[in-house]
Amino acid sequence: MRYDAPNTPESLVHFKNKYDNFIGGEYRPPAQGEYFDNVSPVTGTVFCQIARSTKEDVDAAVAAANKAKEAWGKTSTTERSNILNKMANRMEENLEMLAVAETWENGKAVRETLNADIPLAIDHLRYFAGVIRAQEGTIGQIDDDTVAYHFHEPLGVVGQIIPWNFPILMGIWKIAPALAAGNCIVLKPAEQTPASIYKVLELVEDLLPPGVLNVVSGFGVEAGKPLAQHEGIDKVAFTGETTTGRLIMQYASENIIPVTLELGGKSPNIFFEDVMAEDDSYLDKAIEGFVMFALNQGEVCTCPSRALIQESIYDKFIERAIERVKAINVGHPLDTDTMMGAQASKEQLDKILSYLDIGKQEGAEVLVGGEAAQVDDEDRSQGYYVQPTVFKGHNKMRVFQEEIFGPVLSVTTFKTKEEAMEIANDTLYGLGAGVWSRDMNTAYRFGRAIQAGRVWTNCFHDYPAHAAFGGYKKSGIGRENHKMMLDHYQQTKNLLVSYSEQPKGFF
């Protein structure tokens, strides 16, 4: 079936013509009165306007958050937990509406938003609603008279800059632990995908006290930068690329505040020869694991964009794998049969095409795809579509080293385990990796030795709450998606208490 396009009479989703900032519990127009056009990548046409905010708006949002932080920080964990659960329930009651909104905003296939993005966001809220109630401080008995008590306290006000590849899910990944820990938030959505988070906000805004969650939209340089530099925030959380990551650390150093950064990757997906020992459902799963590069049109920081295949099985394995890639149905994102939708923006499409060009120049062999996708239906002729592409080459090529953020896979072979490890770790990044083997020792040793924060073993692209997610090397700092993220949103208060009634005798 195909969902009706938003803003048509029968659609589940009706976007407003215009979205203002959400500050102190109310919608406020931007101080400068300017708005920008928000385009759907499905059709390449404008579907709403978004506040183009500036420093004045960020100042107002940070002030509102600071006003709210004391009362919010003193709410009981039970109260905050109940609010997060209610947020999750509201989203669950509106799952289809949110999925369609997210697809229209980002271009991804609706079967992914229905089965992954939105359900994962809901579960994430429930996970942090749970773990915050189970969290305890510690007590250390230093000696018979002296006790060290450790309490968790919220940081205060946190700035969060959200990427465009999973606008709602990445928003909730950051919102849930911050609220659970008792912080107030100023959130800046990506300017490529600013509208869908407002559909979430409309569902939950009455659940939170004014000023606890503030949303300021606009361009990175006009709204994101003043937020990252603001003296009134106590932490910045950012997902994006390395240069901006460095700039955010630099700004944070001016205020001596912590940052968490998630900065991308170039994940190896390694297939050992024993995956082909049997022709069974496990092999079928491994082939599917190879094709996972096309999930979310490849716009995932952990896209398995380098496939390393043992030479002894290469011919047989790649033949089956390419057949599966050819079976990817690139279609209308609102059609539930569509497997791959549109790239999120025009500039993203241009960048992917520039990488297809450099891959060919470097001499990589195109095994399948290699071009922009032709779209037959008239509605989508201005949308942003790419053919799923597989290159064969070697690890020193740029298409093996730089994150393309598109449905582009670079394949190479290896002879020995040592060679596989060398190739796997020969990258600037260390966010994700995949290991496929029927031999548990191979899988375990490899998983431990790869320099990456998440090694999927006989699986790929699963993101359950309670499995820590974050990078080694240039892929960032911090671990999201796990209760340990609470530590990144909390201060430690130590009370060092003496129960002795005797003076020390020093003075």
Residues marked active site are found at 262, 301
- Number of residues counted as binding other proteins (CB under 8 A): 54
d(CA 103, CA 40): 9
- The sheet with strand 45-51 has its strands ordered as 18-19, 45-51, 35-40
Which of these segments, 136-144, 178-186, 260-268, 322-330, binds other proteins (CB under 8 A)?
260-268
* Residue 466 tokens, joined: 């309670």
Q: Which is nearer to other proteins, 243 or 502 (CB)?
A: 243
The continuous run of DSSP H or E covering 348 comes out as: helix 346-361
301 forms part of the interface with other proteins (CB under 8 A): yes
Output the smallest distance, CB 161 to other proteins, in A.
8
Vertex 103 angle, CA 50 and 95, to 5° = 100
Residues 475-494 that bind other proteins (CB under 8 A): 475
* Residue 501 tokens, joined: 């009634």
Which of these segments, 136-144, 163-171, 209-217, 290-298, binds other proteins (CB under 8 A)?
163-171
Which are the contacts of 350, defined by CB distance < 8 A and separation ≥ 6? none
**Region for residue 259 given its phi and psi (left: phi exceeds 0; alpha: psi -120 to 50; beta: otherwise):** beta
Q: Which of 163, 182, 447, 478 binds other proteins (CB under 8 A)?
A: 163
DSSP 93: H
Residues 195-254 that bind other proteins (CB under 8 A): 219-222, 224-225, 228, 239-244, 246-247, 250
Q: Which is nearer to other proteins, 209 or 220 (CB)?
A: 220
266 forms part of the interface with other proteins (CB under 8 A): yes
The three-class DSSP label of residue 455 is strand
- The sheet with strand 490-498 has its strands ordered as 138-141, 146-154, 490-498
- Could you count the other beta carbons within 10 Å of the beta carbon of residue 377? 10
Q: Which of 16, 86, 111, 351 binds other proteins (CB under 8 A)?
A: 351
69 forms part of the interface with other proteins (CB under 8 A): no
Q: Which of 153, 347, 365, 422 binds other proteins (CB under 8 A)?
A: 347
55 forms part of the interface with other proteins (CB under 8 A): no
Q: Which is nearer to other proteins, 79 or 357 (CB)?
A: 357
366 forms part of the interface with other proteins (CB under 8 A): no
How deeply is 418 buried, as exposed, middle or buried, from its count of CB atoms within 10 A (0-12, 13-18, 19+)?
exposed
394 forms part of the interface with other proteins (CB under 8 A): no
* Residue 205 tokens, joined: 């805004």
Output the smallest distance, CB 27 to other proteins, in A.
22
**H helices present in 408-452, as ranges:** 417-425, 440-449
Q: Which is nearer to other proteins, 215 or 303 (CB)?
A: 303
CA nearest to 77, candidates 138, 137, 22: 137
Which of these segments, 128-136, 173-181, 339-347, 415-423, binds other proteins (CB under 8 A)?
339-347
Give residue for tokens 């630099």: 250
Q: Beta 45-51 vs 35-40: how paired, if at all?
A: antiparallel
Q: Which of 76, 146, 329, 354 binds other proteins (CB under 8 A)?
A: 354
102 forms part of the interface with other proteins (CB under 8 A): no
Q: Which of 16, 324, 346, 445 binds other proteins (CB under 8 A)?
A: 346
472 forms part of the interface with other proteins (CB under 8 A): no
β-sheet bridge partners, residue 413: 309
386 forms part of the interface with other proteins (CB under 8 A): no
Distance of CA 264 to the CA centre of its chain: 10
171 forms part of the interface with other proteins (CB under 8 A): no
Q: Which is nearer to other proteins, 5 or 431 (CB)?
A: 431
How many helices (H) and strands (E) are present in the chain, helices listed first?
A: 15, 23
d(CA 48, CA 38): 5
Q: Which of 237, 404, 408, 433 binds other proteins (CB under 8 A)?
A: 404
Output Rg (C-alpha) for the chain, integer angstroms: 24
Binding stretches for other proteins (CB under 8 A): 36, 52, 163-165, 190-192, 219-222, 224-225, 228, 239-244, 246-247, 250, 262-266, 299, 301, 345-348, 350-351, 354-355, 357-358, 361-362, 396, 398, 401-405, 428-429, 474-475
